[in-house]
Amino acid sequence: MGTLTGITDGPADNEDWDLATPFLECLVRLIRAQDTHGAWEGKSDADLLADFILTKEQRREIPIIGDPDPDVLWRLQNFYSCVGLVIEERTGLLASPIMTISHEGFGRALFTTGRLVVLWKTLRDVHRFGFETLGKLSESGTKMVEDAIAVIETYPDMARA
Amino acid sequence: MGTLTGITDGPADNEDWDLATPFLECLVRLIRAQDTHGAWEGKSDADLLADFILTKEQRREIPIIGDPDPDVLWRLQNFYSCVGLVIEERTGLLASPIMTISHEGFGRALFTTGRLVVLWKTLRDVHRFGFETLGKLSESGTKMVEDAIAVIETYPDMARA
């Protein structure tokens, strides 16, 4: 714990202060890997993750009419890619995510390894994708990873088929 | 055989004349189900399927630059939906297709039932999606169905998990 910059300095920065979870560390790495021009070099990890955070009031203000914002789709894609990466880190098995999202903000996300469906999620209100706190972002991603690993452990042969 | 209109009348209509396969019949039903305004009522089944046919020369003439044509994407979607429907007809198991296609014409199609991945296809050159003959269209769809059923029969419990 404590290797993420800027978010473990104290409660003043964020209401969660034990945030250097493997999931968030992976998400930060994934985002930084896309910073091909170094535009975010001066940003702390907490800054990079800040866009994933929406308060209830902020959520409510986002209209669900019209196409979801490309930035929201980018974050959603990164979130699910990160779930796949952490599954891979923990099991050594490649968990490929496949997602479909309609322009109305509904869709599905599905993870498979070998012949096994390890995880699927129905996506709703994609326009308002976000989490109340970094802790909840981490919890949500980590729970998906744990669920997927439990399925892989239940059907180990299928996951390698 | 022989219940499709317009394509079993003789070799003059098409080089294949034994085309009323379950796959093509399903595809025609699926297309007609989307004819909510009756615009295609006067069309024969062969006419409805004609757009799926591309000769080698026609394929080559289609540029693979720019977004794939929406009509091509509609046909691709119907083709894979039909594969899913015929799997369901034959096994009683719902095979949900999930597809992603980039604007460059690459993508994946994946079918799952229960916890089982029954079929996946890498999609390439989606711009040029089509078949040389109705026979090849039918063969290609039927082969996917057969492959999927073989997988379901190998792992019957997973398909129902």
Per-residue pLDDT tens for B84-103? Answer: 999 999 999 999 889 988 87
Cβ contacts of B155 on chain A, cutoff 8 Å: 115, 158, 161
Pick the residue from chain B with its C-alpha nearest to A148. B115
Report DSSP state, residue B41: T
Residue A6 lies in a domain: no
A57 occurs within a structural domain: yes
Cα separation values, A142 from B17, B125, B134, Å: 56, 37, 49
Structure tokens at A64: 């669900």
Inside any domain, residue A154: yes
Q: How far apart are CA B35 and CA B43, in angstroms?
A: 11
Predicted local distance difference test score (pLDDT) of residue A18 = 56
Instruction: Evaluate whether residue A5 is within a structural domain.
Output: no
> Residue B102's pLDDT is what?
82
Model pLDDT for residues B100-151, shown as the tens digit of each residue: 888 788 899 999 999 999 999 999 989 999 999 999 999 999 999 999 999 9
In a mutagenesis test of the B interface, which of A115, A120, A121 is the best target, namely the one with the most B β-carbons within 10 Å? A115
| Spatial distance between the Cα atoms of B19 and B141, rounded to a whole number of angstroms | 13
pLDDT for residue A3: 52
Q: Which residues of chain A have pLDDT under 50?
A: 1-2, 6-17
CA distance A47 to A54: 14
* pLDDT of amino acid A67: 86
From A100, A110, A115, residue closest to B155, measured CB to CB: A115
What pLDDT is stored for residue A13 in this prediction? Answer: 47
Report the gap between the CA of B35 and the closest CA in chain A (Å). Answer: 22
A98–chain B Cβ distance below 8 A for any pair:
yes
Count of structural domains, chain A:
1
- Would you state the pLDDT for residue B4? 57
DSSP assigned state of B140:
H
C-alpha separations of B152 from B80, B96, B146 in Å: 18, 13, 10
* Mutation for B interface: A120, A123, A153, A158, most B CBs within 10 A: A158
Mean per-residue pLDDT over chain B, rounded: 87
pLDDT at B103: 79
| Position B3 in a domain | no
> What share of chain B in percent tops pLDDT 90?
66
Chain A residues with CB-CB distance to B77 below 8 A: none
pLDDT of residue B67: 86
Q: Report the pLDDT value the prediction gives residue B19, as an integer from 0 to 100.
A: 64
**Of B100, B115, B116, Cβ closest to residue A98:** B100
**Boundaries of domain holding B126:** 22-33+43-160
- By CB neighbour count within 10 A (0-12 exposed, 13-18 middle, 19+ buried), where does A37 fall? exposed
B134 occurs within a structural domain: yes
Residue B115: the pLDDT is: 95
Q: Is residue A9, in this structure, part of any structural domain at all? A: no
Please indicate, yes or no, if residue B96 is contained in any of the structural domains.
yes
- What CATH number is attached to the domain comprising B63? 1.10.3100.20
Model pLDDT, residue A105: 82
Percent of chain B scoring above 70 in pLDDT = 88
**From A115, which residue of chain B is nearest by alpha-carbon distance?**
B117
Compare CB distances from B100 to A99, A117, A151 and report the shortest one's residue: A99
Residues B50, B33: Cα–Cα separation, whole Å: 17
Which of B112, B89, B121 lies closest to B158 in space, CA to CA? B112
Residues of B in contact with A151 (CB under 8 A): 115
The shortest C-alpha distance from B6 to chain A (Å) reads 36
Residues of A in contact with B108 (CB under 8 A): 98
